[in-house]
């Protein structure tokens, strides 16, 4: 029976969904949303905050500030409240309303950027806002999840060895790419300890992480308008780019079986489905695991809302919960 005195002390590390049994996709999904922050970002947030405290960078009168599309912002708001720090989250207009409300309920100050940078998009505009805050007030401490090595170290220390312990015969691991903290932490661990495991990065169409053309993206979480400084492509075996319409389809497919997951998880599942169909015939018996970053409650007003889906993707969401969109885009590998 776990007994804790701070919310960040609990995380469920051993829960997996057998997607072959649930929806016919031959993969196990590692569920990272069962903690008080509601996502895998709790691990990186704890690692970055505690490192900043130990180094003396973060003190009693500091103000934490971070750019986040949502999940890290919630994790930092929770930890800041628990530890007695002030926290300012700089997000943008794509952030789910429920996510903003959770951060504010936890005492965070939320700044919403609405005008994208002409080159680097909304993320670039968010980063510029963070830099301005830090320049104006020396109390502001920017953890910088995009370039902070403690981001990937959290997953090198925790996530990758947890997967390896549960699946000693693992063949392929699917990891979503955003800041690439989870991706780089897992990729480094497996290259060092089990190099035969293939690391497949899953990114969103419209993201520039792996050199793709920038385009409007409506679902927060994975993807980026700025190439992450911590990315080392030599550690990645394959990359799958997923159109957002396929993310919606995957989320509604899972919801049709009672599993309500977030947009980042839908992207990972859609990408894994494409890769497995092209590279792993059913008789090969590959052992595949995908990392699910979050659950779906915070997306109830967006990708699970029929009007929102229709407005952005031209489709309908029938009562059974599976998205039927106007066009079936070709698989992109």
Instruction: Output the DSSP codes for 136-180.
Output: H-TTEEE--TTT-HHHHHHIIIIIHHHHHHH-TT--EEEEE-SSS
Phi, psi for residue 58 in degrees, rounded to 5: -105, 115
pLDDT, position 101: 95
Could you give all domains of the chain from N- to C-terminal order, each with its CATH number?
Answer: 7-35+149-313 (3.40.50.1100), 41-142 (3.40.50.1100)
pLDDT, position 120: 84
**What are the residues facing 29 on neighbouring strands?**
17, 290
User: One digit per residue, pLDDT tens: the chain, 333 residues?
Assistant: 789 999 999 999 999 999 999 999 999 999 999 999 999 999 999 999 999 999 999 998 999 999 998 899 999 999 999 999 999 999 988 888 999 999 999 999 999 999 888 888 888 899 999 999 999 999 999 999 999 999 999 999 999 999 999 999 999 999 999 999 999 999 999 999 999 999 999 999 999 999 988 888 888 888 888 899 999 999 999 999 999 999 999 999 999 999 999 999 999 999 999 999 998 766 568 999 999 999 999 999 999 999 999 998 886 554 344 444 444 443 343
Instruction: Output the DSSP codes for 217-242.
Output: --S-SS--SS--TT--GGG-SEEEEE
């Amino acid at each position: 029976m776990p007994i804790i005195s701070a919310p960040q002390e609990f995380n469920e590390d051993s829960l997996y969904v057998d997607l072959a049994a649930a929806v016919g996709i031959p993969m196990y999904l590692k569920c990272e949303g069962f903690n008080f922050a509601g996502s895998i970002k709790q691990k990186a947030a704890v690692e970055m905050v505690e490192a900043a405290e130990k180094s003396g960078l973060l003190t009693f009168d500091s103000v934490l500030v971070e750019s986040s599309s949502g999940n890290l912002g919630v994790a930092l708001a929770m930890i800041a409240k628990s530890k007695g720090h002030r926290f300012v989250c700089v997000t943008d207009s794509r952030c789910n309303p429920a996510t903003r409300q959770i951060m504010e309920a936890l005492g965070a100050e939320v700044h919403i950027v609405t005008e994208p940078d002409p080159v680097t998009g909304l993320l670039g505009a968010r980063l510029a806002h963070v830099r301005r805050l830090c320049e104006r007030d020396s109390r502001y401490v920017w953890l910088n999840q995009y370039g902070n090595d403690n981001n990937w170290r959290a997953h090198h220390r925790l996530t990758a060895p947890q997967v390896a312990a549960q699946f000693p015969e693992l063949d392929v691991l699917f990891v979503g790419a955003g800041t690439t903290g989870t991706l780089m932490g897992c990729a480094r661990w497996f290259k060092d300890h089990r190099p035969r495991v293939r690391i497949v990065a899953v990114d969103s169409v419209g993201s520039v992480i792996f050199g793709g053309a920038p385009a409007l993206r409506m679902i927060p979480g994975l993807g980026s308008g700025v190439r992450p400084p911590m990315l080392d492509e030599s550690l990645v075996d394959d990359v799958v780019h997923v159109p957002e319409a396929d993310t919606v389809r995957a989320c509604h497919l899972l919801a049709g079986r009672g599993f309500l997951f977030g947009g980042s998880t839908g992207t990972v599942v859609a990408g894994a489905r494409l890769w497995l169909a092209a590279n792993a015939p059913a008789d090969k018996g590959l052992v595949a695991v995908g990392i699910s970053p979050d659950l779906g409650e915070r997306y109830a007003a967006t990708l699970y809302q029929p009007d929102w889906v229709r407005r952005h993707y031209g489709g309908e969401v029938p009562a059974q919960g599976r998205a039927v969109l106007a066009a079936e885009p070709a698989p992109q590998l």
